[in-house]
Amino acid sequence: MSEAPATLHARISQAAREVRATCPLAGSITNAVTVNLVANAQLAAGGSAAMVYLADEALALTQVGGAFYVNLGTLLPCHAQSIPAAARALRDLARPLVLDPVGIGLGELRGQILDELRDAPPAIVRCNASEAIALARQWGLLEGDEAQGPRGVDAQDAVDDARAAAQAIARFIDGAVAVSGETDLVASADRVVEVEGGSPLMTKVTGMGCSLGGVAAVYAAVTDPFTAALAAAAHYKVAGTRAQRDCAGPASFQLAFVDALHAIGPDELAAEAVLRERGR
């Protein structure tokens, strides 16, 4: 990993160049609905993919991959062991974990696993606004009114409403949080950047968020968590904007989107990324 350049755009293009040059492996434990899109997006972005379910295999993958991705979307009994075991192994190796806490609040197992991850935390949390607020509450990171109240699993909150939660999580994990929506928000302990672009059709294809987490893990294999989260968010927004021009609806959008992820080079990515710094 070389030293990060000063500007955000330069950091993104350097990260994309390193991904293209090294084809980093990010292993995944991810949900059964969208596993194929996650792997295809990781390959199209320039990385390599390997999906597992069992603890034994997850532990082997943490040793060989540059980063690891965990998505709680469709839990099975084996995940009660495999996800915490992978997270602890990554913590001990000082290798980045990217977490998508899909469906936080649904049933008990998700909550148990997230309690365990508090002690072996991810480097990047990738989620929607409601999930960011729910995770910050579960980990006890909010105070006053913000700490109260039940939350569902849908993204009923606006991305901007999740800003305090995102920053609280980013500080707690000493990493980055990427909250997706019409405008994405990427937070580190001391910076908040908005990323514009994409398409409303991204909400009509399942797994756009899941696969964004997988691509963030590919980037996390070559750069720091904040740059990785920002590069992945920007790559998705630029690819989504392009894909919308060439499609007839959600199905052809997904194809055009994966093509665009693949076609966008590091310089184009930096040139077309629309970023707005919101505070540091």
Residue 83 makes contact with ligand ATP by CB under 6 A: no
Residue 102 makes contact with ligand Cc1ncsc1CCO by CB under 6 A: yes
- Residue pair 16/232 in contact by the 8 Å Cβ criterion: no
User: Could you tell me the smallest distance in angstroms from the CB atom of residue 101 to ligand ATP?
Assistant: 10
Torsion of CA 230, 194, 40, 13, to 10 degrees: -40
* 1 marked ligand binding residue: no
> What ranges make up the beta strands (E) of the chain?
25-29, 48-51, 67-71, 97-100, 124-128, 176-180, 184-187, 192-196, 274-279
Residue of 272, 211, 101 whose CA lies nearest to 219: 211
* Closest residue to ligand ATP in the complex (CB): 209
| 279 φ/ψ sector (left φ>0, alpha ψ -120 to 50, else beta) | left
Nearer to Mg ion, 89 or 212 (CB): 212
Q: How many residues sit close enough to ligand ATP to count as binding (CB under 6 A)?
A: 21
Distance CA 220, CA 231 (A): 9
25 secondary structure, DSSP code = E
Which range in 7-15, 48-56, 236-244, 249-257 contacts ligand ATP by CB under 6 A?
A: 236-244
* 27 marked ligand binding residue: no
Of positions 24, 209, 214, 266, contacts Mg ion by CB under 5 A: 209
Nearer to ligand Cc1ncsc1CCO, 105 or 207 (CB): 207
User: Could you tell me the smallest distance in angstroms from the CB atom of residue 206 to ligand ATP?
Assistant: 5
Give the footprint of ligand Cc1ncsc1CCO on residues 112-171 (CB under 6 A). Answer: none
The strand order across the sheet containing 274-279 reads: 48-51, 25-29, 67-71, 97-100, 124-128, 176-180, 184-187, 192-196, 274-279
Residue 31 makes contact with ligand Cc1ncsc1CCO by CB under 6 A: yes
Nearer to ligand ATP, 55 or 208 (CB): 208
* 202 marked ligand binding residue: no
Distance CA 128, CA 159 (A): 7
- Residue pair 124/253 in contact by the 8 Å Cβ criterion: no
Distance CA 99, CA 101 (A): 6
Residue 34 makes contact with ligand Cc1ncsc1CCO by CB under 6 A: yes
Q: How many residues sit close enough to ligand Cc1ncsc1CCO to count as binding (CB under 6 A)?
A: 9
Nearer to ligand ATP, 62 or 198 (CB): 198
* 207 marked ligand binding residue: yes
Give the footprint of ligand Cc1ncsc1CCO on residues 225-264 (CB under 6 A). Answer: none
Residue of 207, 182, 236 whose CA lies nearest to 12: 236
Residue 33 makes contact with ligand Cc1ncsc1CCO by CB under 6 A: yes
**Known binding-site residue numbers:** 51, 126, 180, 207
* Binding stretches for ligand Cc1ncsc1CCO (CB under 6 A): 31, 33-34, 73-74, 102, 206-207, 210
